[in-house]
Amino acid sequence: MSCLWWSFGIMSSATTIGFLVLYLVAFTTSSQIVLNSGWSLSNANATIGLTELSLPSGVYTALQNAGLTGSVLHSYNDVNLRWIALDNWTYFLNFSVTDEILASKYIILTFHGVDTIGQVHFNGVEQKSITTGKYELDNMFIRHRFNIKNLIMEPYFKSFSYLTVTLTSPVTAAKSLAQQYPTTPPECPPNVYNGECHMNFLRKMQASFSWDWGPAVPSSGLWKPVVLEYYNSVLIRDITVKLEENLEEDLWFIHMVVYIEAGSSVSDVRGTLRVILADFPGSENSFRVDDKTDNRGELALSLTVNVSRSDVELWWPNGYGKQKLYIVQVIFDPRDLPRTRGNSILHFRQEQAFKSIKIGFRTIELIQEETYANGKEGLSFYFRVNGVPIFMKGTNWIPASILPEKSFSAPRVKELLKAVKSSNMNMIRVWGGGVYEDDRFYDLTDTYGILIWHDLMFACAMYPVYPDFLNSVREEVHQNVRRIQSHPSVAIWATNNENEVALVQNWYHTGGDRARFEQEYRKLYIDVVKKEVEATDPWRECLSSSPSNGRQTEAEGWISKDPQDWHFGDIHYYNYDLDAWNPTIYPRPRFVSEYGFQSLPSLRALESTLLYSDNISQMIDHRQHSPLRNFPMTILIKRHLPLESLTGNPQEVLEAYIYFSQVSQAMAVKTETEVYRANRIGPMNTMGALYWQLSDVWVAPSWSSIEFNGNYKILQHWVKQFMAPLHIIPLVDSLKNLKIYVVRDTLGDNQEFTVRLHLHHWAGFDVKLEKSWSLDMEENTVVLLDTLNFVDIFGSEVMEKSGFLYFLLEDTSGRILSTNFIFPEKLKDAQGIANPYIDVVVASNRCSFSVSQISLEVKARAPAIFVYLQIYNTRIQTYTLSKNGYIQLEPIQMIRLEFENENCATVLQKSDIRILTINDYLKTTQ
């Protein structure tokens, strides 16, 4: 889950390689050298020395790549390799520069990300950051700039310079800081985490010190590029944008702030700033600039341009329309510059500063209007995009890797975000214990239409408020909000994850000094974080926390009596005491930004983490970081599935338990999500459901829907259906009344549908009873189609045990748009279940562009419950199936299997396919 103790509280090269070139285009196109290769690394006592390292880099990764250690994610290495985090490390680089660089007015050494506590020496001299005015680096989220012009111009260093970055153990640094300031809980994570203490004293990825879903990997390194920037005038660092639709003038106004940097403080900036809308011919606008930079060499220029509304195509979230993006180019042409090389083209290219961004024309509003529901006043809480109220369907995003230097792995991040899009989601929540993601991450969310609920990077703790900490936070927020702001996918900011509710509910035993912690909470999140967000991006909503009561929280002095009040804002909801397959247990709130249930990863994934001597059950126990252990999973399984019947081979028993856990997780998250979707027309007007969590950072029990190896759990296969834009939702209340809802999340004219209810007996495929409805449905709404009683359908409770209900939503041509099901009795108590004699045939095998596409023919003689296919083949590590964990109600079901196959070799055999069904573990009639 998102929080620690939720369960308790309830030489350098003049050329650059492709990766880093792509990275830096997002920053600026001024003249620069990316110092990405030729680094060396050593520890404090010089017992380890590595050479020829490339950036981005982290110490754990560097040692593994050199063959000195195994992966920190393998076996028990999260503990065995902790010595790496307890040592101090030094990165070193020799490099030389050209006469062209030396002739530049400014030569700036820029570190885009140092993890985390360190010092920079250039040519033996300790450097003071222009950014912070300090010698020590203490925040992995901050970009640091160093003016090295004078040092590099010394005669000895004109042909040879050297750069040293010394990094202090993050564990030691955190402990030292904690000893200097008042106790700020939680001091340490639960013992079951195998973690490290005082994460809250460091401005680094909070999950680095462990979480209930991840290992402690307290990283150090240069996790982003190091760049030598040289120029004679300025560079353009960032551009923020506000888009304003003016109906009266039939225009879109593009309000921009262009952030310019010079290489020294209080510098004259004279020239012309040109704005070109590349997609609109003749749209160039010019603005005269005659100003000075501030003490840090920075200058913010505000300007406005416009385009006709009729020329613009709107940007829409996934499922509602296209994601049209437009290019904005900003060019600064300086005046009165000294000429040292004549009028060469190269010379003028160097002087001109240029930056390009993409924007999407859309409006987004968080609507919080007074309402009266369930006998209590409250506030609505929903997003309106381009004037349309949109139900937010999605998930929570943790970093793609626990190692910061790998947190943007282009293939992995792209595959994860493609899964979000293809599963009909339209929002993710970037969770506050991770990192501010790479520019390319936001480019992808823009392209895919995935809106972002964006936490600032504070999670599950009280935080210190000494001046240096607050100053560092202020710079962190300023830089990152400014960098991310122009992306149309960013919907909202929240200053932290769960820290208000932790304070109010006394998670960390702060009640004895409540006044102090309330004061510090407001000082950090309201006076610093929220203030800085709103100064940089005044056009988006910034919530004081998540969960929170939204605008009501402000009315209560920024700390609510109950941050989980269903009548306001968003909530996080976890309940392991009740039956999660039962829809009646769930709240009907405004917006649910976290909820979820654990499951185990596949047996194959678990086996991939083991050494020969490791015991798989002990490994599961070691990696189960929830303080409640496997207890909630086991109890939920026992409620519905025949767990007690598992006997025999321990490997087969474990395989069945894993399968049951994934079925149980999928059913629970499906049920909860469908309750929230149906309650859009309830009195509380629920308008958002973001489950916890999308992916994993290692192979372990967790709340994820996608395993660490990239393979889908059953839940991820189901998400595509229960978050589909057209969906049928049957919900049963405590009196066995069946309410049938139809959801339409699309725009356009009314659509006609047919809804069918089929009564099946477990013994065969034939339909015992059919009932149908016709529906003429408006856009973007939910309809309660009908209410029935089980007795009227089944006739008796005895019959309820021998059958189940299957629902189909069809269009006018008979095409099935959505299906769903209801089990009137718990599966373990069902009667008359037949043996489906499940079998599979490899029907066809095609391969093109190094991707194999295989059609599998799954055969069954009777209804098969939650058919689960797994591929056991060492040459097929990651694969996708068109469906999995499904109910088979026909003799033959075609399944598409895809995987990368570089040589298009025939690798899959029938024996590689393992199929499980719930029928396998129940008493069958034949």
Tell whether the model's pLDDT for residue 424 goes beyond 60. Answer: yes
- The mean pLDDT of 319-337, rounded to a whole number, is 92
How confident is the model over 736-778, as pLDDT tens digits? Answer: 899 999 999 999 999 999 999 999 999 999 999 999 999 999 9
Question: Would you say 494 and 526 are in contact if contact means Cβ atoms under 8 Å apart?
Answer: no
- Cβ atoms 47, 66 nearer than 8 A: no
pTM above 0.85, yes or no: yes
- Rounded to an integer, the average pLDDT of 784-810 is 89
Of residues 233 and 345, more confidently modeled: 233
pLDDT tens by residue, 23-56? 223 333 458 999 999 999 999 999 999 999 999 9
Pairing of strands 892-900, 851-859: antiparallel
How confident is the model at residue 6, as a pLDDT? 36
pLDDT, one tens digit per residue, over 875-916 is: 999 999 999 999 999 999 999 999 999 889 888 999 999 999
Q: What's the one-letter identity of residue 352?
A: Q
pLDDT at position 648 is 85
Are residues 395 and 418 in contact, defined by beta-carbon separation less than 8 angstroms?
Answer: no
Res. 281: pLDDT tops 90: no
Task: Note the pLDDT of residue 254.
Answer: 97
The residue that leads in pLDDT, 2 or 278, is 278
Active site residue 498: yes
Q: Is the pLDDT of residue 679 over 90?
A: yes
pLDDT tens-digit readout, 695-744: 999 999 999 999 999 999 999 999 999 999 999 999 999 998 999 999 99
Q: Which residue has the higher pLDDT, 926 or 739?
A: 739
pLDDT of residue 30: 57
Query: What pLDDT shows up at residue 564?
Result: 97
**342, pLDDT greater than 80:** no
857 in active site: no
Kindly tell me if the per-residue pLDDT of 645 is higher than 80: yes
For the segment 537-563, the average pLDDT, to the nearest whole number, is 97
> In the structure, what pLDDT confidence band is assigned to residue 271 with cuts at 50, 70 and 90?
very high
* Amino acid 343: pLDDT: 43
User: What are the residues whose beta carbons fall under 8 Å from the beta carbon of 652, sequence distance 6 or more?
Assistant: none
| Runs of H (alpha helix) within 512-649 | 514-521, 531-536, 551-555, 603-607, 616-623, 631-640
Omega prior to 651 cis, within 30 of 0: no
What confidence tens digit (pLDDT) does each residue in 173-214 have?
Answer: 999 999 999 999 999 999 999 999 999 999 999 999 999 999
User: How high is the pLDDT of residue 903?
Assistant: 86
- In this prediction, residues 408-416 reach a mean pLDDT of 96
For a pLDDT cut of 70, what percent of the chain falls above it? 95
Which residue out of 498, 520, 674, 810 is catalytically annotated? 498
**Tokens in use for 283?**
């749209």
Q: What pLDDT score does 861 carry? A: 96
The answer on pLDDT for 8 being more than 60 is no
Per-residue pLDDT, averaged over 509-538, amounts to 97
What is the mean predicted confidence (pLDDT) over 800-828?
Answer: 95
654 vs 701: CA distance, rounded Å: 13
pLDDT of residue 792: 86
Cβ(176)–Cβ(370) below 8 Å: no
Strands (E) in 232-281, as ranges, are 235-246, 251-261, 268-277
3-state secondary structure of 391: coil
